């Protein structure tokens, strides 16, 4: 199988995996109404998946750099299948909690390994490929509600999850027969975890850009519908907004990734997050829903162009033979930042109000970007970047 087919196959696997999140979020009302599970318990079910995903990305991902990428992808996707089946047939809080934990752990194990293979399979175009990863992730998530509507209508609550389990199983079978590139034994890193990569100031800078991004996402996703409702916006504006927001990410992701690779990930990433901070501040200041939508469209377009900055920055700074560990560390920190932001956003909104919450979010983002700029140092001006060791692909077998 040539590298283009490998990349496409893994991108499709990422998309199907991501759709499980969209399905789960849209099935929460069914769990509450059918099984009598309280809203607070449902929130805990959602949250536990993020923390197990964080654990998987930080602790298991480095194994993919040590000749186990193929097995880790199979293991991670297999765990997602088990989690989906548990969500399909679970009827109690404990059953759904365990199933969601397994799903999160599986995603945390598989995604960094998938990213690693895509990066090393075509390092010269890794910016465009990271943009494609974003497009498939977002498109997969956005397709989740459609899957839920179709299969829940036909087969009830188990339907969407059984469909996903079958689809992911199909990818497990195909990927198990594929020739996945691994790092040769003599080039495999000895480090058990990837935390030592934070000693690399350029890697730390890229991670701070990612933390700023997911802090923004955590606040926005938690409060958008609520604040639009409080401002008297029609339901279509709030609900359509979430759907429309993903379109620039899907359509512009590959182009944006290529642009960021050419311009330089630190410069582009910091610029994108600075504009994002300005937009977040705008959400706190706009007096009408119509003006909020203007800021919203500017925000989503900006993200479509620059959201790959963190992934490309980390990908160019970490050694090629440690890409899974680096991407896992980035993904874990992003997940943690998003979870923390989402947890505190509602409290801040209730007690401090919309202006203070969003202006404060913008200020936190600017602080993170300033720190990222300082850590980037001379890497700030790098352009047309490629992953380190890309010129000596003999490390790959």
Mean pLDDT in residue range 384-396: 55
Among candidates 134, 124, 391, 116, which has minimal Cα distance to 262? 124
**Domain holding 266: CATH number?**
1.20.1250.20
Residues 96 and 132 reside in one and the same domain: yes
Residues 146 and 202 reside in one and the same domain: no
Residues 349 and 282 reside in one and the same domain: yes
The tokens 């998938």 sit on which residue?
114
pTM of the model as a whole: 0.82
Evaluate whether 307 touches 184 at the Cβ level (below 8 Å): no
Residues 31 and 168 reside in one and the same domain: yes
234 three-class SS: coil
Residues 140 and 251 reside in one and the same domain: no
145-176 pLDDT tens trace: 789 889 998 999 999 999 999 999 999 999 99
- Which residue, of 180, 204, 226, is where some domain finishes? 180
Mean pLDDT in residue range 312-340: 86
Residues 158 and 38 reside in one and the same domain: yes
The residue that leads in pLDDT, 270 or 343, is 270
For residue 390, tell me if it sits in a domain: no
The residue that leads in pLDDT, 312 or 22, is 312
Residues 154 and 242 reside in one and the same domain: no
319 three-class SS: strand
178-217 pLDDT tens trace: 888 777 776 677 677 778 889 999 999 999 999 999 899 8
For residue 393, tell me if it sits in a domain: no
Residues 83 and 119 reside in one and the same domain: yes
For residue 17, tell me if it sits in a domain: yes
What's the confidence (pLDDT) of residue 171? 96
Residues 209 and 265 reside in one and the same domain: yes
Q: How many domains does the chain have?
A: 2
- Which residue, of 180, 204, 228, is where some domain finishes? 180
- Determine the structural domain holding residue 227 and report its residue range: 196-385
Among candidates 190, 211, 175, 217, which has minimal Cα distance to 319? 190
Residues 101 and 208 reside in one and the same domain: no
Q: Which two tokens stand for residue 283?
A: 């959400």
Lowest mean pLDDT among 101-105, 126-130, 310-314: 126-130
DSSP letter (8 states) at residue 396? B
The residue that leads in pLDDT, 198 or 43, is 198
Residues 259 and 163 reside in one and the same domain: no
- Which residue, of 121, 148, 180, is where some domain finishes? 180
Residues 254 and 354 reside in one and the same domain: yes
The residue that leads in pLDDT, 360 or 149, is 360
The mean pLDDT value of the chain amounts to 87
């Amino acid at each position: 199988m040539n590298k283009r087919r490998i990349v496409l196959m893994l991108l499709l696997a990422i998309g199907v995996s991501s759709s499980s999140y969209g399905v789960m979020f849209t099935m929460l009302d069914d769990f509450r109404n059918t099984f009598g599970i309280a809203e607070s318990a449902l929130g805990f079910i959602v949250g536990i998946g993020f923390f197990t995903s964080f654990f998987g990305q930080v602790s298991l991902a480095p194994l993919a750099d040590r000749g186990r990428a193929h097995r880790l992808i199979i293991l991670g996707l297999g765990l997602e299948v088990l989690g989906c089946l548990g969500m399909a047939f679970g009827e109690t809080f404990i059953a759904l909690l365990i199933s969601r934990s397994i799903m999160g752990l599986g995603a945390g194990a598989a995604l960094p390994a998938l990213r690693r293979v895509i990066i090393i399979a075509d390092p010269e175009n890794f910016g465009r490929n990271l943009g494609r990863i974003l497009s498939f992730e977002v498109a997969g998530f956005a397709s989740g509600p459609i899957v839920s509507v179709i299969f829940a209508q036909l087969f009830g609550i188990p339907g969407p999850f059984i469909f996903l389990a079958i689809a992911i199983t199909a990818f497990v079978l195909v990927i198990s027969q594929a020739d996945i590139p691994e790092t040769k034994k003599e080039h495999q890193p000895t480090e058990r975890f990837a935390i030592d990569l934070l000693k690399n100031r350029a890697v730390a800078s890229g991670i701070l850009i990612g933390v700023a991004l997911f802090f923004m996402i955590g606040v926005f996703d938690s409060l958008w519908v609520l604040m639009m409702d409080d401002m008297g916006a029609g339901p279509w504006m709030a609900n359509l907004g979430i759907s429309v927001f993903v379109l620039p990410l899907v359509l512009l992701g590959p182009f944006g990734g290529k642009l960021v690779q050419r311009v330089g990930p630190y410069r582009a990433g910091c610029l994108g997050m600075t504009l994002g901070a300005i937009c977040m501040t705008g959400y706190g200041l706009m007096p009408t829903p119509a003006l909020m939508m203007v800021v919203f469209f500017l925000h989503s377009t900006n993200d479509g162009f620059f959201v790959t900055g963190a992934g490309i920055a980390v990908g160019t700074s970490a050694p090629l033979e440690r890409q899974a560990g680096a991407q896992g560390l980035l993904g874990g920190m992003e997940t943690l930042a998003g979870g923390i932001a989402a947890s505190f956003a509602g409290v801040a909104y209730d007690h401090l109000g919309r202006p203070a919450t969003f202006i404060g979010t913008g200020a936190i983002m600017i602080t993170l970007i300033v720190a990222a700029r300082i850590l980037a140092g001379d890497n700030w001006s790098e352009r047309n970047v490629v992953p380190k060791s890309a010129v000596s692909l003999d490390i790959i077998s």
